Structure 1
Amino acid sequence: MTSYRLETAASPEDLARIAAQTIASHLDLALDQRDRAQLALSGGTTPARAYALLGQEHLPWERVDVFLGDERWVDPADASSNARMLRETLMQSGPGARAAFHAVPTVSLPSPDASAEAFAAIVERICSGDPPIFDLMVLGLGDDGHTASLFPGTEAPAVRDRSATVGRGKGLERITLTAPVLSAARQVIFLVSGTAKREALQRLLDPSESPERTPAKLVQPRSTVLVLADSDAAGGVA
């Protein structure tokens, strides 16, 4: 059974600072053990400030491969693009700009299915293992219990025979890593912020919760999952 360790920050600003420091620490450890480190990051509003701070950390970023756990099937210049968010935060300036960013190919290909296939090939080329192993997987948590683009009531959470697939949620088609890849990471961190996420966080931490209702429960690494949450999200969690 998956085990979780919850750490609570007093505010969203504190959460961003703690998240940046924690991610940097894990990357530093991975780079001590291997020539390169593979990092997968979530999109969304919660982690953007953390990524801006992370990009200022003095690490050998030229040895870090950065991926997105999921991406909307939109132009990379679109305001809703996770790739654009990373370029404007982690890779905007400072040391983090030296990282190798392997963006999800989107509208340059004819369909979301073609994009998912191409992204899977990139991940499998750079990450060792079957399924591919990331050193660190940073995930968000939706108020409906989704993570990456594994939305409840859709086909994507059940896909186990490939590294990436098409996720559909909130009116958009998306490209997402699959549950086996999320679970293969050496370390998984969830970043959770805001009162709207409180119930979803309670469900994530509940051993009896169904993965069908809360697909984030499908993330089942061998190591303890670290959950970093602000006090608004963690309030009321037993």
Structure 2
Amino acid sequence: MKIEKYSDADMMALDVANEIAGDLTAALHNADRAMLAVPGGTTPGPIFDDLCAADLDWSRVDVILTDERWVPEDHPRSNTRLVRERLLVNRAAAARMVPLYANTTEPEESLDALMAAIEPDLPIAVAVLGMGADMHTASLFPDSPDIAAALDAHAPILMPVRPDSQPEARITLTARVLNGALAKHVVFKGQDKMDALEKAQHLSHAEAPIASVLSGATVHWTE
């Protein structure tokens, strides 16, 4: 794991965007297509604003969320909405969005079809991950009843999860798929989260799911 600290959030966003663009360009030299996995939340928005203008062959890039709340795309809590509004614009409008939501009441009803659309594009070329102060990443929450299954080395590509701390069902790429990314960037803000990251390295993966994806990752943070 490599740690990079920045003096401010704008500098971090620009640098992370440049690193992602470089990783994608390298991946496209070696494969017909490259998959970029990105988080929702507030931190990645400025990264998307910079990344969307990167000069690379976006028509060969597949963009997928690391996780999604099981809500329609027009819902205020939809991560898909954020990606379409902030990333899939400018040059990046040519990229293909791989859905992590379907119009069914429960995620289990759409799970097989969603996984079938993802599998041909694996492994992930570049995974961008966030982290909560509770040490979760994607929707791998320590208070999820399904956390052990989602961390298992033989887990499926996707799992529906219902953490006790969250108001709705979610769907997430499992730790196996996230950790298999060719390049991994963990991005967060705040000393409290750096303290949590340091703590995570001394806990089990079930207690600190972020620890399951740190091997070989670059951590970007600012206070």
Partner AA of 1:192 in structure 2:
F
SS of the residue corresponding to residue 54 of structure 2 reads: coil
Which residue of the other structure, out of 167, 172, 185, is the alignment partner of 2:168? 172
TM-score (norm 2): 0.92
Do 1:141 and 1:200's aligned partners in 2 also have CA atoms closer than 8 Å? no
Partner AA of 2:220 in structure 1:
L
- 1:32 deviates by 1.2
- In structure 2, distance between residues paired with 1:156 and 1:220: 20
Count of aligned positions = 217
Which residue of the other structure, out of 73, 96, 103, is the alignment partner of 2:99? 103
Do 1:16 and 1:49's aligned partners in 2 also have CA atoms closer than 8 Å? yes
1:180-231 per-position Cα deviation (integer Å, ceiling 9, x unaligned): 1111111111011124423222224x3x32212211112265xx1111111x
- In structure 1, distance between residues paired with 2:109 and 2:50: 34
Pairs within 5 Å for 1:1-238:
4-91=1-88, 93-106=89-102, 108-127=103-122, 133-159=123-149, 160=152, 161-169=155-163, 170-204=166-200, 206=201, 208-219=202-213, 224-230=216-222, 232=223
Partner AA of 1:229 in structure 2:
W
- 1:64 deviates by 0.4
- 1:105 deviates by 2.0
- 1:47 deviates by 0.7
Report the RMSD for the aligned CA atoms in angstroms.
Answer: 1.5
Unaligned 5+ runs, structure 2: none
Structure 1 residue ranges, 4+ long, deviating more than 6 angstroms after superposition: none
TM-score (norm 1): 0.86
1:39-72 per-position Cα deviation (integer Å, ceiling 9, x unaligned): 1111110011101110011110001011111000
SS of the residue corresponding to residue 110 of structure 2 reads: helix
Task: Summarize the Cα distance change of 1:114–1:125 in structure 2 as closer, same or farther, 3 Å threshold.
Answer: farther
- 1:167 deviates by 1.9
Do 1:104 and 1:115's aligned partners in 2 also have CA atoms closer than 8 Å? no
- In structure 2, distance between residues paired with 1:65 and 1:189: 17
- In structure 2, distance between residues paired with 1:25 and 1:151: 30
SS of the residue corresponding to residue 207 of structure 2 reads: coil
- 1:28 deviates by 0.8
